[in-house]
Amino acid sequence: MERILATAGLTGARTSPLGGGTYNSVYRVSAHEGEFVLKVAPGEQPGLTYERRLIRTEAMFCTLASPVAPVPQVVHTDNATFLLTTFLPGTPVFGRSDLDWPLLRRRLGETTRALHEVTGPGFGYPQLGLHDTWTGAFSGMFGAVLADAERYGVRLPTAGLGKHAKAFDEVRRPALVHFDLWDGNVLAGTGLTGLVDGERAFWGDPVAEFVSLALFGTIEDDEDFLTAYGFEFTDSARVRLAAYQAYLYSIMLTERVPRGTADAGFETMITDALHRALGVLA
């Protein structure tokens, strides 16, 4: 870390671990030049198929999103092993009771809509190679998670997406999707101050964003967010949302093996949510 910080031109730097990182190691850096966040990629370790070169993906996300959303600014990166960014004010909104939640959700809706106006060159995870269609990209993404589950011995209930192909064919523009905007990655002071941890971003359907924005629930209950975003659900959008829910919950169940985490209650919560999503697709 000393070498990285020196190369970035920081002086008098002090580092301390930041909690919340589940893949990269995350540190807060206090230097004469200001406050920063340093992410360091893990070495060779078991992971899911899409969990590769995430440093590069997050650097891309920050660079592209910064003109339209409050995201960290890239200070220095080698696009492989480390990423140094600015430190955003505020704290995660998860569990907080001191916020004007309707106002926060409206601001988040406006910001997410602006984020989704950023358009990419193709569909899918940038680190895995892009596709010409969202239907092909998402099919490959879901297939990779099912293969990961088999590799790690995780038994997942599944439902075919084939009969819903027309719903995915409706997605013609590859939008920048953060895909991890749960309350732990949304920062606020008295109002919205930041969106962090864009390492799992991809180019795809904006509807996919609504999964983590209403984790274990449904975004259709969030009138403040949807009104500010300007989104009205159709039957095909509901089908796609259920598929993206099934995708994320399949990831969450599978990644527990390589990470070595065990919480029976949480696993039950994820499994129940997965079954609800699959019920829509049946």
Confidence category of residue 258, pLDDT binned at 50, 70, 90: very high
| Residue 51's CATH number | 3.30.200.20
Model confidence over 43-90: pLDDT tens digits? 777 799 999 999 999 999 999 999 999 999 999 999 999 999 999 999
**The predicted structure's pLDDT at residue 39:** 96
Q: How far apart are CA 210 and CA 44, in angstroms?
A: 32
* Helix/strand/coil for 128: helix
pLDDT > 70? residue 153: yes
For CA atoms 198, 89, 66, 116, the dihedral sign is positive
For residue 240, what are the contacts with CB-CB under 8 A and spacing of at least 6? 164, 167, 168, 171, 205, 207, 208
Closest CA to 219 of 185, 229, 61: 229
Based on the domain organization, do 218 and 125 belong to the same domain?
A: yes
**For residue 40, what are its two tokens?**
């360091």
For residue 43, what are the contacts with CB-CB under 8 A and spacing of at least 6? none
Confidence category of residue 21, pLDDT binned at 50, 70, 90: low
Based on the domain organization, do 267 and 154 belong to the same domain?
A: yes
Last residue of a domain, which of 86, 112, 135?
86
Residue 117 neighbours by CB distance under 10 Å = 11
Indicate the residue type of 109: G
Last residue of a domain, which of 70, 86, 102?
86
Based on the domain organization, do 100 and 68 belong to the same domain?
A: no
Residue 17 belongs to domain spanning: 2-86
Based on the domain organization, do 99 and 77 belong to the same domain?
A: no
CB 81 within 8 A of CB 40: yes
Based on the domain organization, do 181 and 159 belong to the same domain?
A: yes
Indicate the residue type of 88: L
Based on the domain organization, do 101 and 227 belong to the same domain?
A: yes
pLDDT > 90? residue 278: yes
Q: How far apart are CA 68 and CA 115, in angstroms?
A: 6
Mean per-residue pLDDT for 113-125?
A: 98
Closest CA to 106 of 214, 231, 233, 223: 223
HSE on the CB side for 60, CA within 13 Å? 22
Based on the domain organization, do 130 and 177 belong to the same domain?
A: yes
Based on the domain organization, do 79 and 99 belong to the same domain?
A: no
CB 48 within 8 A of CB 258: yes
Number of domains, the chain: 2
Cβ-based burial of 109 (10 A; exposed 0-12, middle 13-18, buried ≥19): buried
* Helix/strand/coil for 230: coil
| Residue 210's CATH number | 3.90.1200.10
CB 273 within 8 A of CB 245: yes
The structure's pTM equals: 0.96
Based on the domain organization, do 112 and 60 belong to the same domain?
A: no
Confidence category of residue 178, pLDDT binned at 50, 70, 90: very high
Last residue of a domain, which of 65, 86, 107?
86
Cβ-based burial of 241 (10 A; exposed 0-12, middle 13-18, buried ≥19): buried
